[in-house]
Structure 1
Amino acid sequence: MTTLKPATELAAAANRPYPNDSAAYRQARTALLAEEIELRRHVERVAAQRRELPLGGEPPPYRFRDENGRTVGLDHLFGDHDTLVTYFWMYGPQRERPCPMCTAFLGALDVPVRDIAQKVAFAVLGRSPVARQLAFARERGWRNLRFYETVGDDFARDYRGLAPDGSEWPALDVWVRREGRVHHFWAPELAETADPGQDPRLAVDPTPLWNILDLTPAGRGSDWYPRLEY
């Protein structure tokens, strides 16, 4: 096992001032850098622990409708891969427009999903007909995401995308296929664990919007959300 250097030692060695930095700034920035190194290491430890999860349960035989009108099973969404990532977005038939937060997340994935697809399959699931989902995708200029309609609401209810009162929630899930069988592998399960003053968020948050804002002095704030139009 590789012995890691202390984060404080690495931070001190990397301490190179930018033009006109004050001593107070460099001291605070170096202390923060040590914390960032520890955070990076913790993120990797959590990722390694996640990768070691045993197989989850086998899902019921849910059905989905693709853009050609074909009804397919979850296994079909894998394509040639043995890992599938699905994102259930809040765009049910009762909504006039999709959720802006879901839209921000998917918009950031439309280009890199071509790279993601080299390693795993990725599919967007919604309760609206595929034609309606695709119409919005084209409006936003998306070209690469694959959309499917959930047939019935069992999938959305079972995998925490549809509450008993009919309200929708986004749901990110990872599935694996082993020896011809599909298993649930991972989902965030963080919706009811938010700390005071925070919206539910993943660890690590996969949305570039929030990651960029978290780097700024004001942070992401607690009262601002993206909109579909500005």
Structure 2
Amino acid sequence: MNSNETLVPAQELALKNGARYPNESEEYRKARNALLAEEIELRRHIERVAQQRRALPLGGTVTGPYKFEGENGPADFADLFGDKQTLIIYSYMFGPQRQRPCPMCTSLLSSWDGEAKDVGQRAALAVVARSPIDRLIAFKKERGWQGLNLYTDLTGDYSRDYVSADDEDDTAINVFTRRDGTIRHFWSAEMGGATADPGQDPRGAPDPMPLWTILDMTPEGRGSDWYPKLDYRT
């Protein structure tokens, strides 16, 4: 969407909506069209934010000699890019002190696994954790993941620089870019506890978890005391 384009007011677009469903009331249709106008405004705002994100100046140069081990052996930071110019790294809360990985991280990654090959057409996607690679691979097999590329942060240096300076086993999403042989930080998810609104869990916008996007379309919503599990058999 070009910022110079004149947009039709959202309320006007909503009135062009011809959707009607069996036995709906006028009260429902009026409320639904009002909601549709807000949804149109939300779509426009999401696009404005995406444009602003894409227009960010390049971040700091990546200088650390970060060392990883992947499913195919040792790797340095540049190796994680493969043949792409953009690298997305999800830091997975599965450090060696955990008996099992974080259920929320696992839920997100399970949804990303199905999109990984599509994402990989435009950017490299890597999942980095602090546990040994054989432990990560074992859980990958247990979960049935096929598309995700898992790596161990061998020294912890990457995680300390881009996830937690205090060496906490925390989650993060970071995006890096490689131009003319130089790797730079581009963007990271910075919404957390300090930026959370009252009564809401810390989360990004748009939320990277499809689970919440789906549940937000339901009358029950995402709730305030339900979270995904690693296993529903018990």
Task: Assess if the C-alpha contact under 8 Å between 1:163 and 1:169 holds in 2.
Answer: no
* Letter aligned with residue 185 of structure 2: H
Q: Where does 1:146-225 land on structure 2 (aligned, <5 Å)?
A: 146-160=149-163, 162=164, 164=166, 166-191=167-192, 192-225=194-227
Inter-partner Cα distance in structure 1 for 2:177 and 2:51: 17
Alignment of 1:70-109 (within 5 A): 70=74, 72-109=75-112
- The answer to whether the 8 A contact 1:87-1:125 is kept is yes
1:65 aligns with 2:69: yes
**Identity %, equivalent residues:** 56
Number of the residue aligned with 1:24 = 27
Cα 1:120–1:89 shift into 2, 3 Å = same
What is the rounded CA distance, in whole Å, between the counterparts of 2:211 and 2:227 in structure 1?
10
Q: Which residue of 1 aligns with 2:59?
A: 56
Q: In structure 1, what is the equivalent of residue 8 of structure 2?
A: 5
Q: Gapped runs of 5+ residues in structure 2?
A: none
Mean Cα deviation higher: 84-93 or 61-70: 61-70
CA shift, 1:163, in A, is 6.0
Q: Please tell me the residue identity of whatever aligns with 2:134.
A: A
Q: Partner amino acid for 2:76?
A: G
TM-score by length of 2: 0.94
Distance 2:220 2:82 in 1: 43
Deviation at 1:2, TM superposition (A): 2.2
Q: Offset of 1:68 from its aligned partner? A: 3.1
Amino acid at match of 1:173: N
Q: Can you give the 5+ residue segments of structure 1 that lack an aligned partner in the other structure? A: none
Give the SS at the match of 1:104.
helix
Shift, 1:156, TM fit: 1.1
- Does residue 44 in structure 1 map to residue 47 in structure 2? yes
Please, what is the CA RMSD of the aligned residues? Answer: 1.2
